[in-house]
Chains A and B, each alone.
Chain A
Amino acid sequence: MFESWSIIGLGLFTGFVFGFLLQKGGVTKYEVIVNQFRLKDFTVLKTMLTAIVVGGIGVYALYEYELAKLSIKPAFLVANIVGGLIFGVGMVLLGLCPGTAVAALGERNRRALAGILGMLVGALIQAETYGWISGLARSVDLGSVTLPNLLGISPWAILAGLAVAALAVFVALEFWEKRPVRQGSSALPSDPSIGTGSREKVGAL
């Protein structure tokens, strides 16, 4: 019925740090999320790509030394892709995702509370209707497979490629965001009214 106290303690600590970082990163804000999808503020992409590269290197290192197991969700590609497409629509409407919405509760965000109540209903509808579509959802089943398994190459080659690609994207974004803006142009990221936040509010860190 309940997991051990040590797991609950570790979960509380993990959640606390996670929520603290999401709030400091600004990704608990509607504008930051929505403007990522409008391609006006790249905070979300920068944060996630950095986390993926840093996290991936560490987790694969732990795995190589048998200090951690991987936990790969099964690739039911129809379910993964259709689920992702549906998720994107909802995420733009709410301007938060599940983790950032829960964190936003800590900021007394009432829209996030409404969103979380909606999420409960969405989870209920999904559980109740899944039986009708389970055949289709599971029609393409690759199993718990990783890109290195699928492509037959080392995870380190993929992680190195990801790191280089992420670095190139970051350098390009930083240059593009700092480019001089012509007067009267509708150049996107420097529109002062949008609250892009990624530049002007960042502290010395």
Chain B
Amino acid sequence: MNPLCMTRWSPYIVGTLLGMLIWFTFGVAHKALGVSTNFSQAILWAEKAIVPEHAKEVPYFADYKIPTAIGWEAAIFVGLILGAFVSAQLSGDRDAEQLPELWVRRFGPSRWKAYGLAFLGGAILMYGARLAGGCTSGHGISGTLQLAVSSWAFFLSLFASGVASAFILFRKGA
């Protein structure tokens, strides 16, 4: 079978190729791979358009060196959607159109509850990511592999907190 049409690849293969992708971003594009800066950049642009005076007074953008030029990160954002779309089309994977089975067993079948809690989860994690200066890609992969102290501190605390949260949230089994 053509590997491109498989639903799943081994995590070791995927991890190796991801590592090699990072060689490419560092060696050719001279950039690290990150996703969450996009979100701060979107807020910066929105504030500049709507409340330009206020945007200048927000210390976060300067403290965290949020880039004003749109390019690398936004292109990754678009590429991510296209790449996953092509992969799912090739394998005919339509899993994601339903609510996950595990979710329904734990939280019930309500779609609006699922979207509401997903919204809340997204807000919480992005608050944390922007405070820490990166997410699972910028810190979790790009940063840890450069052996950055900040990234290992983030990665280990995210993992510990995730395990604790999962055990609390799913303590009744599900």
A: residues with CB less than 8 A from B are 1-4, 7-31, 34-39, 42-44, 46-60, 62, 67-77, 79-95, 97-112, 114-128, 130-131, 134, 137-138, 142, 144-148, 150, 155, 158-159, 170, 193-195, 197-198, 201-205
B: residues with CB less than 8 A from A are 1, 3, 6-33, 35-36, 38-40, 42-44, 47, 58-61, 63, 68-88, 91, 93-97, 99-103, 111, 114-167, 169-170
Do A72 and B150 have beta carbons less than 8 Å apart?
yes
**In the complex, residue of chain B having the shortest beta-carbon distance to the beta carbon of A198:** B11
Do B35 and A88 have beta carbons less than 8 Å apart?
no
Could you say which of A85, A105, A145 contacts B161, with CB atoms under 8 Å apart? A85
A110 CA / B60 CA spacing, docked (Å): 30
Instruction: List chain B residues, Cβ under 8 A from A36.
Output: 162
**In the complex, residue of chain B having the shortest beta-carbon distance to the beta carbon of A116:** B122
Do B74 and A126 have beta carbons less than 8 Å apart?
no
**In the complex, residue of chain B having the shortest beta-carbon distance to the beta carbon of A83:** B132
Do A118 and B20 have beta carbons less than 8 Å apart?
no
Could you say which of A31, A85, A114, A159 contacts B158, with CB atoms under 8 Å apart? A85
Do A142 and B149 have beta carbons less than 8 Å apart?
yes
Q: Give the distance to chain A from B147, nearest Cβ to Cβ, in Å.
A: 4
Instruction: List chain A residues, Cβ under 8 A from B32.
Output: 71
CB-CB under 8 A for A93 and B117, given A10-B29, A39-B163, A130-B60: yes
Do B129 and A125 have beta carbons less than 8 Å apart?
no
Do A51 and B155 have beta carbons less than 8 Å apart?
no
CB-CB under 8 A for A85 and B69, given A110-B115, A198-B11: no
**In the complex, residue of chain A having the shortest beta-carbon distance to the beta carbon of B140:** A48
CB-CB under 8 A for A98 and B35, given A30-B103, A170-B12: yes
A205 CA / B59 CA spacing, docked (Å): 48
A203 CA / B31 CA spacing, docked (Å): 33
A17 CA / B30 CA spacing, docked (Å): 17
A43 CA / B13 CA spacing, docked (Å): 11
Q: Give the distance to chain A from B15, nearest Cβ to Cβ, in Å.
A: 3
Do B33 and A18 have beta carbons less than 8 Å apart?
yes
CB-CB under 8 A for A59 and B146, given A83-B128, A86-B125, A97-B125: yes
